[in-house]
Structure 1
């Protein structure tokens, strides 16, 4: 992640930019935040493409097609402006390294991880091809590894270039030479089978650390893809090797369909069955943790000194990590050595080093940052963190206060919550002003509903906590509720039972507060997003 330079825009569309993620042949990719607090990746094409009317027309069509892609293993297109002076598209941000970065950092991945990646990507391609789309640029750098699975990115831009430039145009490529299918190279019709070929090359890279075709130049690579057999190496064995070989068949009709590939990789349960905690090697989990910390640091430092604190995010309730585990014990804010004894050594060191380095920063709190880093690392050390986070056990009681989980409140007149009814969203901040994710509250005025409010707290799209709340008191413009976990609290969620308030403001927003100390006593300014 790079900080914005003087040449970079500060805002694109409705998104405030926080840093530059990367750059490529088509444009630059920025990290951005929406007014509602969602983290996005904003891709702005290079200005010279904006002068190409054919590019704009195809970009517009492909963005509209890509908006339809909503599979579990893709980054969704959220917004775009193909008519802007510099066309851009915003997609959901994925907190995790690319497959290229992952292999460069830790080397070839274990077979279990390769199969999980392959199953997820195959399911993504099944959804994409079902919409009549072809990705055309499946490669390691377009595969991101999040804690909950792989994501296939870069749909619109990759396709938008096809048809506006030839393979021989100076400085322009319509694919990646080592991963393009033979039919792409020779200019034949391209179908979804081309994506399957590319996926086979990607899985070879993940399993061996090398692509199946290598060469000293693009011309040599293209020749080998068309005329020579792939080199898979001894690390790729058994059924996985047979599957990859089938994907890399020169004849498109001989390649398996993505749905068949997904089934053979994961079985009838699907890719999600392979994505258990620990599916990624420990060093990559640490990498995601560091990336999350970097993201929060960027956001805070990007705010001008006189900028008001962002609307609240979430009271570390059911979805926030519990700071005390790192704040109150051990030198420099870190937990004593014994507390980390049950965590894998590498992950433990990462969590501790993050705690120490962040605790020594001047001028800002580190509660949430430590919490996020610890909670992300907890994905592979669940047993360790379950002992620290209240409300994650099966007792149904708040581990800190010993109170029973909130029960459903009595029936109430529908008019009590009439002014609050609807869906409300906003950005959460702790009492010290530290950003702490986003929250979405659904408030119902149905007097028969057992709970008046259901809330989801989200940190970086990685940690999600869910709560329910029963009404304890109400006036025309203010309601107070007892909020508790809805029973799905996991690592990273405090699980506390706490008092929360929603207060209507004259401008139509709602001010939210929580007394959950483990969550940082968060606050938020919520806007209505639906009824």
Structure 2
């Protein structure tokens, strides 16, 4: 490792092999890396000059341990931390997706289901972070990654707190999303809720609630001006206004935000995460959605309850009605409305495979499918999906579902799963394990599909051919 935190020819730190540089921030450089088992992770290498400070070293492990307590819901969990030749590093789950700021800059503000999924997902992450008695301190669009599977993931929780050990007089955080109490360093969980309001405003309107400018100018506006919420989604506006209250005591907690977003009391972070996954549509790193234009057309009806107009009982009924509508995500996963279904018996278990949707946007077709794993007598209670249909690499590890093929039965054309760089536009199987009775969601995207194909055969390795599946155009 070089003194500036870049990689030497050895390309390792601790037990991790560094693959390529992902980005850089005030605290250090982030790399895509592989762990000893070959799984992809993100490694943040803290700038060497930080680790030379004794106070930093004393607090680093303490804060890293606290961050590892955060539950794996709508976050990129911290997996490991350590010191290597005087350099501190932090290891998190790798999220293959762009950050929120890149998406908004490229395609403009979010709307419809993706905006609502973002609001719920970030609130869910804050609940998990706060339950672990951690304060994020620097929640901002660039610290929210948009995963193809599952939607938004919050990263870098606990990192900003380490910066407090540097002995500088600078403000800790990003000015546009700082709370009023940042001015006198009284940063608490309520400050993260204020930042949530700023992030959702930016996602919905394209601008932070107090504009842009220098740190002192922004802090003055945050302390003395009302937020600008022009163009804010009216269903979210009342919650954003509460989150941006000057007085932290008047703000909702992250749990209260989540409860009101979902229209139920004491909403669990697990249920909220599942709701986010049901309505999220993937985006690529250029900010263009794989099916976002279709999403905005077909999801004008929102599952988000109108928090200011309905009683709690009615709101809950609305949420349940939409989520369990015929053809909705819960019914599809439970078998209602599946395009095709097959039971596959194995030695010790069987798989219930369902094709949930096959949708076209232009020449791009996306397949959503699921597999329920059920162990039989004497079989293993755990299942690694790659053992059934994963693409196997030359060193024997399963990687993803890129082996799935789409076939045009009329023209005979075969379409492989699309790839982007070294990765496929499909489900990542690395390290994935399900327990008996659990249902695993998967997806595959195919490019340059004939616009005349209204039926397709789907070939899943190890599962078989599903003939004549209708392609829905949106």
TM-score, with length taken from structure 2: 0.64
Match of 1:437 in 2: 399
Corresponding residue for 1:89?
90
Query: For residues 49 and 101 of structure 2, what CA distance do their matches in structure 1 show?
Result: 28
1:25 is the counterpart of 2:26: yes
How far apart are the structure 2 equivalents of 1:393 and 1:31? 29
The yes-or-no answer on 1:226 pairing with 2:194 is: no
2:209 to 208, 212, 218: 212
| Aligned pairs for 1:85-124 within 5 A | 85-124=86-125
Question: SS in structure 2 opposite 1:238?
Answer: coil
SS at match of 1:213: coil
The answer to whether 1:154 aligns with 2:156 is yes
CA distance 1:267–1:95, change in 2 (3 Å): farther
Gaps of 5+ in 2: 291-349, 402-425, 445-457, 467-474
Structure 1 segment 351-366 matched on structure 2, within 5 A: none
User: What residue in structure 2 maps to residue 363 of structure 1?
Assistant: none
**3-state SS of the aligned residue for 1:37?**
coil
The match for 1:263 is 259
Deviations 1:318-360 (A, max 9, x none): 899x9xxxxxxxxxxxxxxxxx9x5112xx34xxxxxxxxxxx
Match of 2:177?
179
Q: Does the alignment pair 1:460 with 2:428?
A: yes
Conservation of the 8 A alpha-carbon contact between 2:113 and 2:279: no
Whether contact under 8 Å (1:465, 1:489) holds in the other structure is: no
The structural deviation recorded for 1:262 is 0.8
Contact 1:246/1:254 (CA < 8 Å) preserved in 2? yes
Could you tell me how far apart the structure 2 residues matched to 1:429 and 1:260 are?
43
Distance 1:54 1:64, change over 3 A: same
| RMSD between aligned residues | 4.2
1:170-211 Cα distance to aligned partner (Å, 9 max, x none): xxx511011111111233x22210110111100100101110
Q: Is the alpha carbon distance of 1:517 and 1:43 closer, same or farther for their aligned partners in structure 2, counting shifts above 3 Å?
A: farther
Instruction: Report what 2:232 is aligned to.
Output: 236
Q: Which residue of 250, 254, 264 maps to 1:254?
A: 250
Are 1:99 and 1:140, in contact at CA under 8 Å, matched by a contact in 2?
A: yes
2:312 aligns with: none
Per the TM alignment, residue 276 of structure 1 is displaced from its structure 2 partner at its CA by 4.8
CA drift of 1:494 comes to 6.2
What's the secondary structure of 1:343's corresponding residue? strand
- Measured after TM superposition, the shift of residue 24 of structure 1 is 0.8
SS in 2 for 1:275: helix
d(CA) in 2 for partners of 1:90, 1:50 = 16
Pairs within 5 Å for 1:73-84: 73-82=74-83, 84=85
**As a proportion of its length, which structure holds more strand?**
2
Distance 1:186 1:119 in 2: 30
* Among 350, 353, 361, the residue aligned to 1:344: 361
CA contact (8 A) 1:145 1:151 kept: yes
Distance (whole Å) between structure 1 residues aligned to residue 102 and residue 43 of structure 2: 20
Q: Give 1:487 shift.
A: 7.3
Does the 8 Å contact 1:318/1:495 carry over to 2?
Answer: no
Distance 2:39 2:241 in 1: 40
Residue of 183, 190, 195 corresponding to 2:192: 195
Q: Which has the higher contact order (CA 8 A, sep 6+)?
A: 1
Distance 1:436 1:241, change over 3 A: same
Distance in structure 2 (CA, Å) of the matches to 1:319 and 1:37:
29
TM-score by length of 1: 0.58
Between structure 1 and structure 2, the one with the greater Rg is: 1
CA contact (8 A) 2:76 2:155 kept: yes
CA contact (8 A) 2:144 2:154 kept: yes
Q: How does 1:319-338 map to 2 (within 5 A)?
A: none
Q: What does residue 276 of structure 2 align with?
A: 275
C-alpha distance in 1, partners of 2:101/2:83?
29
The offset of 1:232, in angstroms, is: 1.6
**1:115 and 1:266 in contact (8 A); partners too:** no
The aligned length equals: 355
Q: CA deviation at 1:272?
A: 3.5
Name whichever of 93-102 and 116-125 sits farther off.
116-125
Q: Give per-residue Cα distances to partners, 1:275-316, cap 9 Å, x unaligned.
A: 255533666798688xxxxxxxxxxxxxxxxxxxxxxxxxxx
Residue 84 of structure 1: how far off its partner (Å)? 4.6
Q: In the alignment, is the contact (CA less than 8 A) between 2:74 and 2:273 conserved in 1? A: no
* Secondary structure, counterpart of 2:167 in structure 1: coil
Q: Map 1:461-476 onto structure 2 (within 5 A).
A: none
